[in-house]
């Protein structure tokens, strides 16, 4: 089966195929009858339920960064393969943005199809006989006012005929001085509603300024939140508890790294060889790929993952006095040396010292 890492990973299907290829290779290298089951993978990586692992392997979903690193560690991926998976994950998980199509241009003033006159142009007036024109067209009679309407000499229903309508014209009334425009448009001072078609009072500059400042603050807060969410990466571990991955391997020869013949385990004290000295916690055996949660660190006896007589020339050799305290499902606390954890979980993890 050809390695999917040769041609690169460009889609979710290819991403899932790469994980499945690592799973199959893990079975061949370790001479297993069958590849690890979905439940075994979920239990050893802490990756949730088997359906979640199935979605990772068939490319339906892209695993989170921590889950991907655990899967790669379990399947024995090398540094180049892990880097390719991480870069592909970043590319496939990137948020895609879509451009809103521009609105169709509207005809401006004085353009064909526009009803607004251009600068220096007069609005077209309806001709005689057209709707909106007060002049009758050819062959049309001017409309006459009906009874009771302005300009009509006939009284309307229920109106008495004025004795002066045909005698003397009514005396002109003296017009009162025109009220200021502000009173005519302000019903609070005049007690009257402004005429139809008039402009309402303008909003104050202060109110507009308050609304503009509030809108600016809301947009700035939203932009900051989006920037924080987009730039957020997996936060560094600063205090416990911290999830870690067991690497129960020993350095052999010039550059070999193989699974230890005996499992790792938790001990009651930060010292080696607890299985022989009676300080091993029963039922805590672990192999490579197992997930643990550690809560603090302690200084203990020196632990090696290599044969001291062979020296430290092997690049996978590790020697340390740092031990992490983990807690079992039934509440027991035990220690594990950092040399039996994956390299990226060594160095103390900025955890507090165990009290």
The tens digit of pLDDT for each residue in 103-155 reads: 555 555 555 555 555 555 555 565 665 665 556 555 555 556 555 555 555 55
Structure tokens at 202: 């303008």
* Res. 179 pLDDT band, cuts 50 70 90: very low
Higher pLDDT, 82 or 307: 82
Question: Which candidate, 50, 52, 47, 93, places its Cα nearest to that of 71?
Answer: 47
Residue 108 has a pLDDT of 54
For the chain, the structural domain boundaries read 12-92, 242-345
Q: What is the mean pLDDT of residues 280-285?
A: 90
Distance of CA 186 to CAs 181, 205, 207, Å?
A: 8, 18, 19
Who contacts 189 (Cβ-Cβ below 8 Å, separation ≥6)? Answer: 182, 183
DSSP structure class, residue 339: G
- Number of residues assigned to the chain: 355
Residue 159, H or E segment:
none
| CA pair distance 281, 157, nearest whole angstrom | 111
**pLDDT of 225 higher than 60:** yes
Q: What is the mean pLDDT of residues 166-194?
A: 48
- Ranked by mean pLDDT, the top range of 70-84, 197-211, 232-246, 295-309 is 70-84
Q: What percent of the chain has pLDDT over 70?
A: 63
CB 341 within 8 A of CB 244: yes
Distance of CA 30 to CAs 20, 24, 75, 238, Å?
A: 15, 10, 10, 36
| CA pair distance 329, 120, nearest whole angstrom | 86
Cβ atoms within 10 Å of 46's Cβ, excluding its own: 15
Who contacts 325 (Cβ-Cβ below 8 Å, separation ≥6)? Answer: 294, 295, 296, 297, 298, 333, 334, 335, 354
Who contacts 297 (Cβ-Cβ below 8 Å, separation ≥6)? Answer: 322, 323, 324, 325, 348, 349, 351, 352, 353, 354
Residue 259 has a pLDDT of 87
CB 26 within 8 A of CB 45: no
Please give the CATH topology (third level) of the domain spanning 12-92: 434 Repressor (Amino-terminal Domain) (1.10.260)
Question: Around 300, how many Cα atoms within 13 Å sit in the side-chain half-sphere?
Answer: 26
Q: What is the mean pLDDT of residues 282-289?
A: 88
Helices 79-93 and 12-29, packing angle to 10 deg: 160
Question: Around 153, how many Cα atoms within 13 Å sit in the side-chain half-sphere?
Answer: 6
Residue 166 has a pLDDT of 41
**pLDDT of 15 higher than 70:** yes
| CA pair distance 325, 304, nearest whole angstrom | 18
- CB under 8 Å, gap of 24 or more: what pairs does 308-314 form? 310/253, 313/254, 314/251, 314/252, 314/253, 314/254, 314/255, 314/256, 314/257
Q: What is the mean pLDDT of residues 273-277?
A: 89
| CA pair distance 265, 280, nearest whole angstrom | 7
Cβ atoms within 10 Å of 233's Cβ, excluding its own: 7
Expressed in percent and rounded to 5, the helix, strand and coil fractions of the chain are 30, 15, 55
């Amino acid at each position: 089966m050809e390695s999917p890492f040769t041609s690169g990973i460009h889609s979710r299907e290819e991403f899932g195929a790469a994980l499945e290829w690592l799973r199959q290779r893990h079975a061949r290298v370790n001479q297993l009858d069958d590849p690890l089951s979905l439940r075994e993978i979920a239990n050893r990586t802490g990756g949730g339920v088997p359906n979640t692992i199935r979605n990772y392997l068939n490319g339906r979903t892209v695993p989170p960064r921590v889950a991907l690193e655990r899967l790669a560690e379990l399947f024995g991926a090398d540094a180049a393969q892990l880097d390719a998976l991480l870069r592909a994950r970043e590319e496939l998980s990137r948020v895609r943005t879509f451009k809103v199509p521009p609105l169709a241009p509207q005809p401006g003033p004085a353009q064909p199809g526009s009803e607004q006159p251009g600068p220096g142009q007069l609005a077209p007036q309806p001709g005689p006989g057209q709707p909106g024109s007060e002049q009758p067209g050819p062959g049309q009679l001017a409309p006459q006012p009906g009874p009771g309407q302005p300009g009509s000499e006939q009284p309307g229903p229920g109106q008495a005929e004025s004795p002066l309508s045909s005698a003397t014209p009514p005396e002109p009334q003296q017009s009162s001085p025109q009220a200021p425009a502000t009173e005519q448009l302000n019903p609070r001072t005049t007690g009257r509603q402004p005429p139809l078609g008039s402009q309402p009072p303008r909003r104050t500059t202060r109110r507009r300024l308050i609304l503009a400042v509030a809108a600016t603050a809301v947009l700035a807060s939203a932009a900051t939140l989006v920037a924080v969410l987009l730039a957020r990466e997996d936060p560094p571990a600063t205090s416990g508890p911290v999830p870690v991955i067991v690497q129960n391997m020993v350095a052999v020869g010039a550059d070999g790294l193989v699974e230890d013949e005996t499992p790792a385990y938790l001990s009651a004290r930060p010292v080696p060889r607890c299985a022989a000295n009676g300080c091993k916690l029963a039922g805590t055996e672990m192999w490579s790929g197992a997930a643990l949660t550690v809560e603090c660190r302690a200084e203990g006896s020196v632990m090696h993952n290599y044969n001291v007589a062979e020296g430290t020339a092997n690049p996978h050799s590790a020697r340390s006095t740092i031990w992490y305290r983990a807690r079992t499902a039934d509440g027991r606390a035990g220690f594990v040396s950092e040399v039996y954890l994956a390299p990226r979980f060594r160095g103390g993890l900025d955890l507090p010292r165990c009290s």
